[in-house]
Structure 1
Amino acid sequence: MPFPFFGDDKSTIARLLSTLPQEGRVEWIGLRPARRQPLLSVPEAEAETDRHLVGDHARPKAGGKRQITLIQHEHLGAVAGFLGMPEPVAPERLRRNLVISGLNLLALKNRQVRIGPEVILEITGECHPCSRMEEELGHGGYNAMRGHGGLTARIVQGGQFAVGDAVRVVQSEQKPAAPPITG
């Protein structure tokens, strides 16, 4: 039976899913200059609308869902913990373009985020680990990354962004908010 002050279960879940007031932060940016080459840590980057990061070897199709990859900063320590490492895993080892802190990235699936003043990404799906994680992290690396591989995104609006830039959820046009819950 639903709680009387919440309404039906579906509207409660919809309201909970739309509540993301936090702001995140870009902690790290990495570019892959060539296939199987080490990632380069850079202080800033340029995202091309519906393409890729300038300087990254990946050339996804226009309209593709994997134009840029993101990983949760808080997961770097979790992955290291699963592997018995004393320090968080260095981001370049995980082969993702952006490391974001302060936001639960999985909660952003199918939503848009603004990075800095210009860039808008649409979070399109999970970025599952590949067998390369065994090579990079050692025995158990693939399984340590399961559930912590990050997300993929499409670049809706390109532009410049930098380490330290804010990451905010783009609020979609919604119906007027329900009255606050009191109790």
Structure 2
Amino acid sequence: MQARLRGIAVRAYQHAPMQTLTHAVVTVDKGVAHDARGKPSLRQVTILSEASWLLVCHQLKVLQPTLPPYAFSWLNRRANLLISHRIFNTTDIGSTLRIGSCVLEITQPCNPCVKMDQHIKGLQALLTPALTAGVCCKVISGGYIKLGDQVTLTPQPYQALLL
């Protein structure tokens, strides 16, 4: 099954609540528009796997069958993007993701901070192993993204695509 963009979120300042969007502009200079952490860096855009999040919710027993698809919002993870049908692993570092018309390079794992346990005890520990908390990316080329966009992973550095 093809990976899809299932969620977009930004925060206006560092400790602000996450705000969901249906679409966004992503730029090399600012990351996801209106996000406080979007300046150029190895952690310009953060991406969470929906499958990994559902597994963590199941382990924490915060899934409720009557509330699709999860009762404990992915916004608590504080990632910018949520994608379906993809679980990240260490071999994805250095790969590129095309989402909508933008291209992102996966630079490193996301390391969950202590704030995760403020939401629910044990969350930080469950997000720690094997890229469960998602990946950090830098913007290679900006563009427009919207919910439902196809997400394509290319398992090589973006520079190799230019050859």
What's 1:24 paired with? 3
Deviations 1:121-164 (A, max 9, x none): 0001100110000112x221211222211000000000111010
Q: Which amino acid aligns with 1:39?
A: M
- From 43, 57, 60, the equivalent of 1:80 is 57
- Partner in structure 1 of residue 142 of structure 2: 158
1:127-138, aligned counterparts within 5 Å? 127-136=110-119, 138=120
Give the distance between the partners of 2:98 and 2:125, measured in 1 at CA. 31
Q: TM-score of the superposition, structure 2-length normalised? A: 0.83
- With over 3 angstroms needed to count, the CA separation of the structure-2 counterparts of 1:170 and 1:144, relative to structure 1, is closer
Higher relative contact order at CA 8 Å, sep ≥6: structure 1 or structure 2? 2
Aligned residues: 149
Q: TM-score with structure 1 length normalisation? A: 0.75
Is 1:57 equivalent to 2:36 in the alignment? Answer: yes
The one of 48, 55, 65 equivalent to 2:27 is 48
User: Is the CA contact 2:49–2:83 (under 8 Å) kept in the aligned structure 1?
Assistant: yes
Structure label with greater radius of gyration: 1
Cα 1:59–1:29 shift into 2, 3 Å: closer
Cα drift, residue 53 of structure 1: 1.1
- Are the equivalent residues in 2 in contact too, given 1:50–1:154 (CA < 8 A)? no
Output the CA distance in 2 between the equivalents of 1:50 and 1:123. 17
Q: CA RMSD in A?
A: 1.9
Within a 5 Å distance, the mapping from 1:92-171 to structure 2 comes to 92-106=75-89, 107-116=91-100, 118-136=101-119, 138-147=120-129, 148-170=132-154
Letter in 1 for 2:44: Q
1:68 maps to 2:37: no
Deviation string 1:67-88 (CA, Å, 9 cap, x unpaired) is 0000100112111122121243
Taking only the aligned residue pairs, the percentage that are identical comes to 23
For structure 2, the residue ranges without an aligned partner over 5 or more in a row are 65-69
Contact in 1 for aligned 2:97/2:153 (Cα 8 Å): yes
Q: Could you tell me how far apart the structure 2 residues matched to 1:142 and 1:170 are? A: 29
Deviation of 1:170 after TM superposition, in Å, equals 3.5
Partner AA of 1:143 in structure 2: A
The answer to whether the 8 Å contact 2:51/2:86 transfers is: no
